[in-house]
Amino acid sequence: MKKEIIFTHAQVVTPDEVFRGAVRVTDGKIHTIDRGRSKQSAYIDLEGDFLLPGLIELHTDNLEKHFSPRPGVRWPSMAAILSHDASVVAAGITTVLDALAVGDTLEDSARLRDLREMADAVKSAQKYGFLRAEHLLHMRCEIGYPQVLEMFDFFLHDPDVKLVSLMDHTPGQRQFTKVEKLFQYYQGRYGLTVGQMERLIHNRQKNQKTYASKHRTALVEMCRKRGIPLASHDDTTLDHVMESASEGIVICEFPTTVEAAEAARNHGLSILMGCPNLVLGGSHSGNVSALELARRGLLDILSSDYVPASLIHGAFLLHQELGISLPDAFATVTVNPARIAKLDDRGSIQSGKRADLIQVRMDHTLPVVRKVWRCGERVF
């Protein structure tokens, strides 16, 4: 027997428009979309709330935060993934690419120790049906890290890997062009002394000269053979973007300047920015504002980065602050990330798509996620 759900009295947000209507779901997929109220006797009344596609997150460090909630603290792995999953679903995210660091800027960091265990915890929890969102993997490869190729090779043929980003957090360029911002970030987060910071900067700059170029070339080739989409992280200059474009990279992730974002647009790269930057009105590193790029039409995809609830907040801000239509604003967190990650079965309210749906009510200007469904099953 077919399982059917009818949502009615909703403000339905499709890829093209917003209208009062009803959506019929059959066996976990969207079947029909109609204007006006449903005339069926059995239905779910959304009371005039928005009915939106489930959000798709391409880059979040939230899982790491649950594994290591404080420096030196290591949380049990299954408890960490369950807590992380609960936070992303409550934010309306039904598909999440958990970003895992392959290599790091600190020696013997929790990221290095926990990499495989974090990936295994995601897979185990998903296998046993414990997770409410669908969890996939985004591998963040630090190209100046000496063992990055060996570490990434372990994941190369994993079908859950849907995105790889090329990272270079060397002091004095990209995200940390201003070295004082690097001091502020690492001393605040890890409590490093001035001497420790100076050694860290020296070692990272040395490793970049030794490894970064050859590692980048090797990673691009590995991903090209597997057909894994690639992102370049923190592009700052025209040369950075031209290098990315020549390598077939498809996402310019967190560009730090208007120049880099404009070059990305001109070379056909999708531009991804963080919602905390958008919600707070600027970058904590002193780089370009996401709102400024959106004003210039230089924003394609939003990421919650380190605050899951910021994803839906950021999409509504594009509509409220800049007058971008709701369908176009929500394309940044649904249609566009689905296309880049090759997840063609979801990301929009259209017949035949997966019934990943969220009910959202506005509390003045703040969106509140009330209910979430994945494949037609209520998960929040």
Do residues 180 and 305 share a domain? yes
Cα 180 from Cα 379, distance rounded (Å): 44
In this prediction the pTM is 0.91
In the three-class reduction of DSSP (H, G, I as helix; E, B as strand; rest coil), residue 12 is classed as strand
Number of domains into which the chain is organized = 2
CATH number of the domain within which 326 lies: 3.20.20.140
Do residues 263 and 359 share a domain? no
Which residues face 302 on adjacent strands?
273
- Residue 352 falls in which region: left (phi positive, over 0), alpha (psi -120 to 50) or beta: left
Do residues 332 and 361 share a domain? no
Strand spans (E) along the chain: 4-13, 18-26, 29-35, 44-45, 50-53, 55-60, 93-102, 134-142, 161-167, 230-233, 251-253, 270-274, 301-303, 357-363, 366-374, 377-378
- Residue 72, CB-side half-sphere exposure with 13 Å CA sphere: 3
Residue-by-residue DSSP string for 33-94 = EEES----SS-EE-TT-EEEEPEEEEEE-HHHHHH-SSTT----HHHHHHHHHHHHHHTTEE
Q: Give the burial class of 123: count Cβ atoms within 10 A of its Cβ; 0-12 exposed, 13-18 middle, 19 or more buried.
A: middle
Which residues face 11 on adjacent strands?
20, 50
Strand 44-45 versus strand 29-35 pairing type: unpaired
Gap between the terminal Cα atoms of the chain: 25
Do residues 85 and 209 share a domain? yes
Do residues 8 and 105 share a domain? no
Do residues 380 and 322 share a domain? no
CATH number of the domain within which 46 lies: 2.30.40.10
Q: What is the pLDDT along the chain (380 residues), one digit of tens a residue?
A: 678 999 999 999 999 999 999 999 999 999 999 998 776 766 899 999 999 999 999 999 999 899 988 877 889 999 999 999 999 999 999 999 999 999 876 666 667 778 999 999 999 999 999 999 999 999 999 999 999 999 999 999 999 999 999 998 766 566 666 666 666 666 556 666 777 777 767 777 787 788 889 999 999 999 999 999 999 999 999 999 999 999 999 999 999 999 999 999 999 999 999 999 999 988 866 789 999 999 999 999 999 999 999 999 999 999 999 999 999 999 999 999 999 999 999 999 999 999 999 999 999 889 999 999 999 999 99
Find the farthest-apart pair of alpha carbons in the chain and give their distance in angstroms, rounded: 71
Do residues 182 and 308 share a domain? yes
Do residues 113 and 135 share a domain? yes
Domain of 371?
1-53+348-380
Length of the chain measured in residues: 380
